[in-house]
């Protein structure tokens, strides 16, 4: 209560940041969600943490903001509130989360209102269009990609096929589906298919789950036995895997893309520095290190922010940089993407050839460190504000009429 007996009201826009999820990328998602909550402009927005545990239960509560609370123990759960998202509510009203509680008169339901949801769930059920489809159906405003872009770019096989048709350079690949129950991979058949797609001498190759990110499940294979083992490991994570040729003298480049003031713009380019041939999950998130080049802010939780990297690497020629930027913009526009999207490239350090590798619609830390190092620097707080305001605009645009009379599609009479 303020002086004079007047209650102060909090008129800030409430931003529900949802993270965690039923995905092997669960832990990485926690880092991204906490970082986004920390980055919000506290004078304009009030962050509402929404954590989805591995069983799919949604939770909220201030204890979720503390990194050291994860994984949640029984004591922390006691301090949290389980919540659900109602779907069958009028889309014109303010969205809410429903929280059950017990009062003097028995069980009751409390509504927790918010204005926009920011998906920070990496991988399955969060980055793949599932969550975006749910929010669209329920009429809940949200930030980032719409369902089509999220779903299409999560599928590496679909992404590469579409981009190849658009003239974007991508590596050839073989799609291998997990055998059904009681069936097994036939090595000779696999070898024949591999030769048809990658040539008579395809090894070494890289195996990647079809629909996962953060380099989870990525493994090299130097021969048939290693390939079979890598595929079996990938099939524990996904129902299909891609087999690609391993790039000689491999160098990786990443760039972020978003739409600002009606134009698609790109960030600084990074070259991750790695101590092994394949930049896998452990190298990305558990190795630590510091970026080379311009000083970047750090936030609790590290993740990709702490990964060793060189910003705007000097070895890139003007032609190579142009190729990366133009291909990233082409991918962004082809899939009608939104938010801060990171596009990853592979390069042969010897020949200089560059191929688009994959598109991450919810990258770690929303790739803020690439925007901070851009030609026109953008802080994480400014980036978070942009993503929020863009999400509100896109959601208002998507709220099309549902009146059959306006579409000349009326069958039943309405007074």
Residue 104 confidence class, pLDDT cut points 50, 70, 90:
low
Residue 407, domain member (yes or no)? no
Question: What CATH number did the domain enclosing 26 receive?
Answer: 3.40.50.20
Bond preceding residue 204 cis, omega within 30 of 0: yes
The mean pLDDT value for 272-277 works out to: 67
| pLDDT, mean of residues 266-295 | 61
Domain extent for 20: 3-142
Same domain, 55 and 165: no
Domain membership of residue 391 (yes or no) is: no
| Residue 300 lies inside a defined structural domain of this protein | yes
CATH code of residue 191: 3.30.1490.20
Query: How sure is the predictor about 107, in pLDDT bands with cuts at 50, 70 and 90?
Result: confident
| Residues 6 or more apart whose Cβ sits within 8 Å of residue 321 | 269
Is residue 20, in this structure, part of any structural domain at all? yes
As a whole number of Å, the CA-based R_g of the chain is 23
Say what the pLDDT of residue 5 is.
Answer: 45
* pLDDT band, very low/low/confident/very high, at 285 (cuts 50, 70, 90): very low
Task: Quickly state the pLDDT bin for 181 (edges 50, 70, 90).
Answer: confident
Chosen domain end from 185, 210, 245 = 245
How confident is residue 142, by pLDDT bands cut at 50, 70 and 90? very high
Mark whether 92 and 157 lie in a shared domain.
Answer: no
Asked, for residue 403, whether it belongs to a domain, the answer is: no
Q: 381 or 217: which carries more pLDDT confidence?
A: 381
- Whether the pLDDT of residue 127 is over 80: the answer is yes
Mean pLDDT of 245-271: 96
Give the whole-number percent of the chain exceeding pLDDT 70: 87
pLDDT of residue 6: 46
Assess if residue 409 is contained within a domain. no
Rounded to an integer, what distance in angstroms lies between the CA atom of residue 59 and that of residue 77? 9
Confidence of residue 101 (pLDDT cuts 50, 70, 90): confident
Residue 386 within any structural domain of the chain: no
CA distance 347 to 253: 8
Q: Which residue would you say has higher pLDDT here, 48 or 182?
A: 48
Does residue 40 sit in the same domain as residue 67? yes
Predicted local distance difference test score (pLDDT) of residue 61: 97
Identify the burial level of 201 via C-beta atoms within 10 angstroms of its C-beta, where 0-12 means exposed, 13-18 middle and 19 or more buried.
exposed
Cis peptide before 71 (omega within 30 of 0): yes
Count of structural domains within the chain? 3
Tokens standing for residue 327: 């291909």
pLDDT digits (tens, 9 = 90+) for 207-249: 999 987 657 789 999 999 999 999 999 999 899 999 999 998 9
Greatest mean pLDDT among 68-77, 174-183, 274-283 lies in 68-77
Same domain membership, residue 286 and residue 366: yes
- 45 & 26 share domain: yes
Q: Examine the pLDDT at 313 and tell me if it is beyond 90.
A: yes
For residues 157 and 281, state if they share a domain: yes
Answer whether 38's CB lies under 8 Å from 71's CB. Answer: no
Q: Same domain, yes or no, for 366 and 256?
A: yes
Q: Assign residue 340 the CATH number of its domain.
A: 3.30.470.20
Q: Say if CB 52 and CB 16 are below 8 A apart.
A: no
Inter-residue contact 76 to 69 (CB < 8 Å): yes
241 lies in the same domain as 255: no
Cβ atoms of residues 174 and 207 within 8 Å: no
Give the mean model confidence (pLDDT) for residues 14-29.
94
As a whole number, mean pLDDT of residues 324-342 equals 98
Q: Is the pLDDT score of 282 beyond 70?
A: no
Residue 198 lies in a domain: yes
Are 136 and 220 in the same domain?
Answer: no
Same domain for 236 and 273, yes or no, is no
Same domain, 110 and 132: yes
d(CA 286, CA 17): 24
Round to whole Å and give the CA distance between 14 and 47.
Answer: 6
Encode pLDDT of 32-48 as tens digits: 999 999 999 999 999 99
Residues 106 and 227 in one domain: no
Predicted pLDDT at 415: 67
**Residue 9's pLDDT is what?**
65
The 10s digit of each residue's pLDDT in 352-362 is 999 999 999 99
pLDDT at 159 over 80: yes
């Amino acid at each position: 209560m303020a002086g004079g007996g007047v209650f102060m009201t909090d008129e800030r826009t409430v931003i529900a940041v949802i993270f965690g999820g039923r995905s092997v990328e669960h832990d990485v998602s926690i880092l991204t969600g906490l970082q986004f909550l920390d980055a919000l402009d506290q004078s304009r927005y009030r962050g509402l943490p929404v954590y989805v545990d591995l069983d799919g239960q949604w939770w909220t509560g201030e204890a979720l903001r503390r990194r050291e609370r994860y994984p949640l123990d029984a004591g922390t759960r006691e301090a949290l509130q389980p919540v659900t998202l109602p779907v069958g509510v009028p889309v014109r009203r303010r969205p809410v989360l429903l929280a059950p509680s017990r009062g003097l008169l028995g069980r009751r339901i409390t509504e927790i209102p918010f204005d926009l949801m920011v998906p920070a769930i990496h991988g399955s059920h969060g980055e793949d269009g599932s969550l975006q489809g749910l929010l669209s159906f329920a009429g809940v405003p949200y930030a980032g990609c719409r369902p089509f872009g999220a779903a299409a770019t999560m599928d590496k096989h679909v992404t590469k096929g579409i981009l190849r048709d658009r003239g974007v350079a991508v590596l050839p690949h073989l799609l291998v589906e997990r055998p059904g129950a009681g069936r097994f991979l036939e090595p000779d058949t696999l070898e024949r298919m591999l030769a048809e797609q990658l040539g008579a001498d395809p090894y070494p190759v890289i195996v990647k789950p079809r629909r996962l990110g953060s380099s989870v499940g990525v493994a090299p294979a130097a021969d048939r036995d290693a390939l079979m083992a890598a595929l079996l490991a990938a099939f524990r994570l996904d129902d299909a895997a891609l087999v690609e040729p391993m790039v000689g003298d491999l160098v990786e480049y990443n760039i972020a893309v978003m739409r600002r003031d009606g134009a698609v713009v790109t960030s600084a380019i990074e070259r991750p520095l790695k101590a092994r041939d394949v930049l896998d999950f452990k190298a990305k998130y558990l190795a630590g290190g510091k970026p080379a080049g311009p000083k970047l802010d750090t936030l609790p939780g590290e993740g990709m922010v702490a990964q060793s990297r060189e910003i705007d690497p000097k070895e890139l020629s003007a032609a190579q940089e142009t190729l990366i930027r133009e291909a990233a913009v082409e991918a962004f526009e082809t899939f009608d993407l939104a938010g801060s999207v990171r596009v990853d490239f592979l390069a042969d350090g010897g020949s200089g050839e560059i191929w688009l590798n994959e598109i991450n619609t919810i990258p770690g830390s929303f790739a803020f460190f690439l925007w901070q190092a851009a030609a026109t620097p953008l802080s994480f707080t400014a980036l978070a504000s942009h993503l929020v305001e863009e999400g509100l605009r896109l959601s208002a645009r998507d709220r099309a009429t549902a009146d059959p009379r306006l579409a000349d599609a009326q069958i039943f009479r309405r007074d």
